[in-house]
């Protein structure tokens, strides 16, 4: 009996010892890896005055507010100063001007996701470039553009945000040309990115993509293309082209649903196209100047889209 018990113990030790060694190995590697932050770059792509800088600023504002319960440490004196100054301007109703070649900026922050042994730190960088650079990404075929900082940033990004301004879509004078132009540009930009990755080892399908429609506040004035001159004037005024942001009319759930469905119909083929290209693609409607159900519309969802999962 004793011999049989010893034999059983020997078998158990022989089986469990390698498993224990493997478990310890992965635990040590996980612990060490947790202390080495992984770089995670986000590319923000959109036409001039689409609201890219405002969106980025609000993303950081949401992180500061602790809405996602994510540990955040802002890196760099210039990042700290720029974010806080831009947040101050937005809080007092001032608009952020368009980004120029002199203003191009990379926002840097460390975030920690998960808990316990699953905790992981990432060095997040979000690039803010002029909208003209996004246009060149779609249409520029000259090789010189491949050497630009923006091109290199986009091609090496871990997540992508395509930012679309809703204001021109709601104006009957610009709707058709604008929607066609935006769809063509985003599709072409993605094809350039896809071509760049085609001969590499990285699988682009696992890079998250957000199609972000800004200024959803405008749905409170029109959920479809506006033809009334008074409504169009309000859309122009509230399109945030001026330095001062005027009173924003509260957005109802029905207006958001109707406007969102109309917009998705307008961009149905582009949405379908992007869904065939990546595993994670979200369509998001955002508001940087008003709240919806106690939160800034779409800001939390945008963060959840671009951050590592």
Distances (CA, A) of 187 to 97, 139, 274: 27, 11, 8
Residue 99 confidence class, pLDDT cut points 50, 70, 90: low
Q: What angle do CA 47, 50, 56 make, to 5 degrees?
A: 110
Residues 6+ apart with CB under 8 A from 220: 248, 249, 250, 251, 252, 255
DSSP string, 185-219: HHHHHHHHHHHHHTTSS--GGGS-EEEEEE-GGGG
Q: Residue 40: phi, psi to the nearest 5? A: -145, 105
Is 285 a residue whose pLDDT tops 60? Answer: yes
Across 112-116, 137-141, 208-212, 284-288, which has the greatest mean pLDDT? 208-212
- For residues 126 and 84, what is the distance between their CA atoms, to the nearest angstrom? 16
DSSP string, 270-292: HHHHHHHH-S-EEEEE--SSSEE
pLDDT of residue 164: 94
Is 32 a residue whose pLDDT tops 50? Answer: no
pLDDT of residue 305: 93
Residue 176 confidence class, pLDDT cut points 50, 70, 90: very high
Q: What would the pLDDT profile of 9-31 be if each residue is shown by its tens digit?
A: 566 556 555 665 555 544 544 55
Which tops the pLDDT comparison, 175 or 151?
Answer: 175
Is 271 a residue whose pLDDT tops 90? Answer: yes
CATH number for the domain running over 36-306: 3.40.50.300
Q: What would the pLDDT profile of 206-233 be if each residue is shown by its tens digit?
A: 999 999 999 898 888 888 887 777 777 7
Q: Within 10 A of 34 (CB to CB), how many other CB atoms are there?
A: 17
Residue 294 confidence class, pLDDT cut points 50, 70, 90: confident
Least confident of 25-34, 132-141, 283-292, 293-302: 25-34
Is 97 a residue whose pLDDT tops 70? Answer: no
Q: Are 102 and 117 in contact (CB under 8 A)?
A: no
Domain segments of the chain as ranges: 36-306
> What is the residue-averaged pLDDT of the chain?
78
Across 161-175, 203-217, 258-272, 293-307, which has the greatest mean pLDDT? 258-272
Across 115-129, 224-238, 263-277, which has the greatest mean pLDDT? 263-277
Is 261 a residue whose pLDDT tops 90? Answer: yes
Which tops the pLDDT comparison, 18 or 120?
Answer: 120
pLDDT of residue 28: 46
């Amino acid at each position: 009996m004793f011999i049989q018990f010893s034999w059983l113990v020997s078998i158990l030790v022989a089986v469990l010892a390698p498993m224990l060694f493997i478990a310890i190995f992965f635990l040590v590697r996980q612990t060490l890896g947790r202390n080495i932050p992984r770089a995670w770059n986000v590319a923000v792509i959109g036409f001039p005055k689409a609201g890219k800088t405002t969106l980025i600023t609000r993303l950081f504002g949401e992180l500061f507010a602790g809405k996602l319960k994510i540990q955040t440490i802002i890196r760099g004196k210039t990042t700290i100063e720029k974010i806080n100054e831009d947040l101050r301007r937005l809080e007092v109703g001032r608009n952020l001007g368009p980004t120029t070649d002199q203003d191009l900026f990379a926002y840097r922050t460390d975030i920690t996701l998960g808990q316990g042994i699953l905790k992981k730190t990432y060095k997040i960088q979000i690039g803010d470039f002029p909208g003209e650079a996004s246009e060149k990404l779609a249409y520029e075929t000259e090789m010189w553009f491949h050497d630009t900082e923006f091109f290199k940033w986009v091609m090496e990004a871990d997540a992508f945000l395509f930012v679309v301004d809703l204001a021109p879509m709601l104006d009957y004078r610009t709707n058709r040309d604008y929607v066609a132009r935006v769809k063509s540009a985003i599709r072409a930009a993605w094809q350039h990115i896809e071509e760049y990755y085609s001969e590499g080892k990285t699988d682009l399908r696992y890079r998250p993509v957000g199609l972000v429609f800004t200024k959803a506040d405008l749905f409170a004035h029109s959920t479809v293309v506006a033809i009334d001159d008074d409504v169009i004037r309000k859309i122009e005024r509230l399109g945030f082209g001026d330095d001062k942001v005027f009173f924003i009319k509260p957005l109802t759930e029905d207006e958001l649903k109707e406007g969102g469905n109309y917009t998705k119909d307008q961009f149905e083929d582009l949405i379908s196209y992007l869904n065939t290209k990546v595993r994670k693609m979200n369509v998001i409607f955002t508001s940087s100047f008003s709240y919806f159900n106690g939160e800034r519309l779409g800001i939390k969802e945008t963060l959840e889209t671009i951050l590592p999962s």
